[in-house]
Amino acid sequence: MKYRIKRGKDALIIVDVQVDFCPGGALPVPGGDEIIPKLNEYIRKFHAAGALIVATRDWHPPNHISFRDYGGIWPPHCVQGTEGAKFHPGLRLPDNVIIVSKAMDPLREAYSGFEGTDLEKELRKAGVRRVFIGGLATEYCVKNTVLDALKYGFETFLLEDAVRGIDVKPGDVEEAIKEMVKRGAKKLTLQELE
């Protein structure tokens, strides 16, 4: 089945494609940078259609609860204003991209792009009905963003060719994809988009 991008109804949500989550970063997703050419093609198509493009980012304070020194499980990453928190330089975000910063409260973890942000409000204001989600990492921030999008009633597509996961425990990524689909997300690749 082919899907046509609809201006005013569709949004592309790119999750956390930041320097720290790519090879060489503080918390690299294996092959995280390999999805950038695909994401750029999605960006090109959505931009050409006049559809909304959103990029989420971890924007942690230096004392964030997710960091090991503060009781979390991760090394410090995506600290506000650092090189590692920047979007990957290969990602071609348009000038009118909506940037959503998340996980800024030092005492709260926030994997989802919706948690503690205005993302839902922005999408509703724009009349968005369908969201197309790709980025990093599949079983953490992508999964939680997808599940929240479904919870808020958006028709939700997982860009299967534009996500990568960490797979801390082998099989985590596969399980995450199964859960997203079970909850109602549809898998999609670039070839299925007109």
The catalytic residue positions are: 16, 102, 141
Measure Cα distances from 107 to 72, 102, 165 in Å. 10, 12, 25
Q: What are phi and psi of 187, to 5 degrees?
A: -85, 145
**Helix pair angle (143-151, 172-182), 10° resolution:** 10
Distance of CA 116 to the CA centre of its chain: 15
Tokens of 39: 């994401």
Q: Which residue, among 60, 56, 42, has the nearest Cα to 5 in the 3D structure? A: 42
